[in-house]
Structure 1
Amino acid sequence: MMRVTWATDQGSPARPNEDFVATALGAAVVLDGMSIDMDLETGCVHGRPWYVGQLATRLLAGLLDHGLSPAAALAQAITETAAAHGGRCDLSHPWTPATTVVALRVRDQAADYLVLSDSTLLLDQGGRVTALTADGSGFAAADPRVAGRALTGSVPLPELRRAALLTDGATRAVDAFGLADWPQTLATLGERGPAALIEQVREAERSDPDGRRWPRHKRHDDATVAYCEFPAP
């Protein structure tokens, strides 16, 4: 059994939230759409939030098919989303919508995971916390072959106590600001929930609005967290 709670927060009222979270019985996905200047042409008439939502829901459906590996489910979702553009978009455009991906699904006695680009997956296996983040290359866009670059694996379900799927806007307290570590992040999620973790990041950002203490490209970024608990039988 996997119990999931989640929260997402828009980084700026001037642009839509390009993160997306989707959950179903035994699976969760979190995506972080690649942000670019709002004035740049992308070749897509639909926009990045549409693309991220389309890919996320198709990936979630694929993960529920236990005959597909997470990488195969992602490749299938990318192919289906490309077709959903309906031939109206230039998917070869260098700024065609793209996204990071982190996914987790439960099957039998294992939990399968996938991480593509710089979102983070935290796994708590009996008190041993592991943070999994792929490099910044290979954003999911329109080429299903990118699924082969994802970090994938499985962990025994009986060992797994907690997990968290986080976009980089939600991990700033650890990897950008140095205000917490990964075990403390999971503790905050367990005690106060995903919205409280995001608010912790927002408080730090508001304390340094000009980026003097913590230089960064955006004052606030979209932030999304899905927190998963695995109660002991």
Structure 2
Amino acid sequence: MMRVTWATDQGSPARPNEDFVATALGAAVVLDGMSIPMDLETGCVHGRPWYVGRLATRLLAALLDHGQDPAAALAQAITETAAAHGGRCDLAHPWTPATTVVALRVRDEVADYLVLSDSTLLLDQGGEVTALTAEGSGFAAADPRVAGQALTGSAPLRDVRRAALLTDGATRLADRFGLADWPGTLATLAERGPVALIEQVREAERSDPHGQRWPRNKRHDDATAAYCEFV
């Protein structure tokens, strides 16, 4: 059984949180919508939070069908979400809503995973922590073929102790600021929970408000962490 706890925090009060978490018995997905300037036209009348939420819930539902692999589940979810626009949006627009994806599913005696773009999956297998990201791959938008670019795989469930699904706003402490490593990140999640991890990120960001120590395009990014224990 996989037990999931999670937290998300909006990066700026000036724009909505474009991260989204969806969980069900034996599956979890975390999405991070691609941020663009608020006044930039996207061709979509619904907005990025709508798109990210719809895609996340459809992906979660598709993952619960153990007869299809995670990439096929993502392709199905992208197709269904494109249809949900109802013909009202220009899905060929270069700034049509897009998102990163990280997903984890328990199936029989294995844990299946999928990572698309720069969100991160941490896997603790017998005490060895592996960070999986697919930075450089495409973003999920309206074309289901992007699912073929996702990093996918499976791990024997007997070997998996813990896991975490993290947006890049939550990984900053380790991969941008150098204030933690991946085992330490998982330890914080296990001992203090997702809220504490995100607060550590925020403390570091507040200590460098102008990005002099850690140059970055956003002072605070939306940050989401989902922590999974296997019991």
Normalising by the residue count of structure 2, what TM-score does the alignment of the two structures yield? Answer: 1.00
Is 1:80 the equivalent of 2:80? yes
Which residue identity does 1:175 align to in structure 2?
D
Unmatched 5+ residue regions in structure 1?
none
Is 1:128 the equivalent of 2:128? yes
Which residue identity does 1:134 align to in structure 2?
A
Whole-Å separation in 2 of the counterparts to 1:180 and 1:224: 17
Q: Which residue of 1 aligns with 2:38?
A: 38
Identity of aligned residues (%): 89
Which residue identity does 1:159 align to in structure 2?
D
Where 1:152 maps in the other structure, the secondary structure is strand
Which residue identity does 1:2 align to in structure 2?
M
What CA RMSD, in Å, does the superposition of the two structures yield over aligned residues? 0.4
Where 1:188 maps in the other structure, the secondary structure is helix
Which residue identity does 1:224 align to in structure 2?
T
Q: Which residue of 2 aligns with 1:216?
A: 216
Which residue identity does 1:31 align to in structure 2?
L
Whole-Å separation in 2 of the counterparts to 1:131 and 1:171: 11
Q: Deviations over 1:161-208 (max 9, x none)?
A: 000000000000001000000000000000000000000000000000
> Number of matched residues?
231
Q: Deviations over 1:124-152 (max 9, x none)?
A: 00101000000233000000000000000
Mapped contact 2:137–2:150 kept (Cα < 8 A): no
Q: Which residue of 1 aligns with 2:162?
A: 162
Which residue identity does 1:209 align to in structure 2?
P
Q: Which residue of 1 aligns with 2:179?
A: 179
Which residue identity does 1:198 align to in structure 2?
I
Q: Which residue of 2 aligns with 1:143?
A: 143
The structure 1 segments of at least 4 consecutive aligned residues displaced by more than 6 Å after TM superposition are none
Where 1:3 maps in the other structure, the secondary structure is strand
Which residue identity does 2:24 align to in structure 1?
A
Normalising by the residue count of structure 1, what TM-score does the alignment of the two structures yield? Answer: 0.99
Q: Which residue of 2 aligns with 1:202?
A: 202
Give how far 1:27 is off: 0.0
Mapped contact 2:104–2:114 kept (Cα < 8 A): yes
Whole-Å separation in 2 of the counterparts to 1:106 and 1:5: 16
Q: Which residue of 2 aligns with 1:101?
A: 101
